[in-house]
C-alpha cells in the first residue's frame, strides 16, 4: 500500500470514527464505555486519539528531526461537551491528513522507530485510527471489521515494527526460540516470527526465494482473517477468536514477549 493510497483511507476511517462517536453520545449519559479499552469511556478515546493527531501534526509541521521535548509541545485544552469534543477531533484529523498529503512519504521527521519519515506516521496513524474506529463502534454495538488491506498491513507492521519497539519499551524477557506463524484465512499471506534473545526475526510471507534463510517451522500456527489477526495483535480479541495449531499456550505468551503498550 502506497502513501497516496493511505490518505483517502485515513480520511474515511476518521469519518467513520466521528460517526461512531456521535452515535455513542446520542445515547446520552452516562457516556458509553469502550469494551476493548478497559476503564476508558468514549470521551477518553476521543481525547486520546485527538491528542495523538495533534502531537504528530506538530512534528510534521515543524519538521522535527530529533526526539521532541514534551515541554516544547503545548496542546490546547480539549473542549467540554460531546459536540465540541467531536468537532475538535474531526478538525485535528483533517489537519493531519492535509499535512501528510502535502509532505508525501519521504520528508525526514522524527519517529519512535528506525524509519524516520512522514510516511511512517501515515502508516502508523492509519492503522491506529482503524483500530480505534473499531473500538468506538464496539461501544454501541457490533463493530465493522478492519478493511482487509489495512488489516493485513497492520499484521505486518505489528510484527516488523511494533514488536521490536514494544520489547524495548517494556524490557520484555528474552525469547527462547519461540516461533509463531500467523496465517490469514481470507487471503494468501502468512507471517512467521522467531523470538530469540532480544531479537524479533520476521520472515517474508510464504516466499522462500526472497528469504535470507529458510523459514523455520512454527511452534504454533494462528489462523484467522486479516482483521482478526490484527485485532489479536492489538489486544482487541482473545485467542479464542483464532484457530491455533500446535502449542496454543504460546498465544497468551506472545504478550509476555511483546508487552502491550
Q: Is the domain of 9 the same as that of 107?
A: yes
Residue 98 falls within a domain, yes or no?
Answer: yes
Instruction: List beta partners, residue 184.
Output: 224
Give the end of a domain, one of 87, 105, 138: 138
Q: Is the domain of 119 the same as that of 218?
A: no
Rounded Cα distance, 129 and 126, in Å: 5
Q: Is the domain of 89 the same as that of 174?
A: no
List the grid coordinates of 176.
527462547
Q: Is the domain of 66 the same as that of 163?
A: no
Give the end of a domain, one of 138, 163, 186: 138
For 138-169, letters b (16+ CB in 10 Å) and e give bbbeebebbbeebbbbbbbbbbebbbbebbee
Closest to 231 in 3D by CA, of 124, 139, 134: 134
**pLDDT average per 10 residues of sequence, the chain (261 residues):** 96 98 95 94 96 95 90 73 96 98 98 97 98 98 97 97 94 95 95 95 61 73 98 96 95 95 82
Residue 173 falls within a domain, yes or no?
Answer: yes
Helix %, strand %, coil % of the chain (to 5): 50, 15, 35
Q: Is the domain of 132 the same as that of 31?
A: yes
Q: Is the domain of 113 the same as that of 155?
A: no
| Number of domains into which the chain is organized | 2
Residue 70 falls within a domain, yes or no?
Answer: yes
List the grid coordinates of 77.
485544552
Q: Is the domain of 127 the same as that of 252?
A: no
Residue 143 falls within a domain, yes or no?
Answer: no
Q: Is the domain of 161 the same as that of 75?
A: no
Task: Write down the pTM of the prediction.
Answer: 0.93
Give the end of a domain, one of 138, 165, 180: 138
Domain with 132, as residue range(s), is 3-138
Residues 214-239 pLDDT 10s: 667 899 999 999 999 999 999 999 99
Q: Is the domain of 93 the same as that of 179?
A: no
Amino acid at each position: 500500500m502506497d502513501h497516496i493510497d493511505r490518505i483517502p483511507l485515513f480520511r474515511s476511517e476518521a469519518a467513520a470514527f466521528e460517526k461512531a462517536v456521535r452515535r455513542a453520545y446520542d445515547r446520552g449519559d452516562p457516556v458509553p464505555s469502550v469494551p476493548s479499552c478497559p476503564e476508558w469511556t468514549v470521551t477518553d478515546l476521543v481525547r486520546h486519539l485527538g491528542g495523538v493527531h495533534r502531537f504528530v501534526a506538530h512534528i510534521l509541521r515543524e519538521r522535527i528531526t530529533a526526539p521532541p521535548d514534551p515541554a516544547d509541545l503545548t496542546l490546547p485544552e480539549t473542549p467540554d461537551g460531546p459536540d465540541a469534543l467531536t468537532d475538535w477531533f474531526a478538525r485535528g484529523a483533517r489537519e493531519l491528513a492535509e499535512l501528510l498529503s502535502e509532505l508525501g512519504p519521504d520528508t525526514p521527521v522524527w519517529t519512535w522507530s528506525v524509519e524516520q519519515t512522514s510516511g511512517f506516521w501515515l502508516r502508523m496513524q492509519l492503522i491506529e485510527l482503524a483500530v480505534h474506529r473499531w473500538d468506538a463502534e464496539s461501544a454501541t454495538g457490533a463493530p465493522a471489521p478492519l478493511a482487509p488491506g489495512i488489516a493485513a498491513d497492520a499484521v505486518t507492521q505489528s510484527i516488523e515494527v511494533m514488536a521490536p519497539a514494544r520489547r524495548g519499551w517494556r524490557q520484555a524477557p528474552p525469547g527462547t526460540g519461540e516461533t509463531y506463524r500467523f496465517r490469514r484465512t481470507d487471503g494468501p499471506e502468512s507471517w512467521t516470527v522467531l523470538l530469540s534473545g532480544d531479537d524479533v526475526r520476521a520472515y517474508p510471507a510464504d516466499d522462500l526465494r526472497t528469504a535470507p534463510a529458510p523459514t523455520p517451522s512454527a511452534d504454533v500456527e494462528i489462523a484467522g482473517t486479516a482483521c482478526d489477526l490484527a485485532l489479536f495483535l492489538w489486544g482487541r480479541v482473545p485467542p479464542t477468536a483464532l484457530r491455533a495449531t500446535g502449542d496454543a499456550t504460546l498465544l497468551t505468551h506472545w504478550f509476555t514477549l511483546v508487552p502491550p503498550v
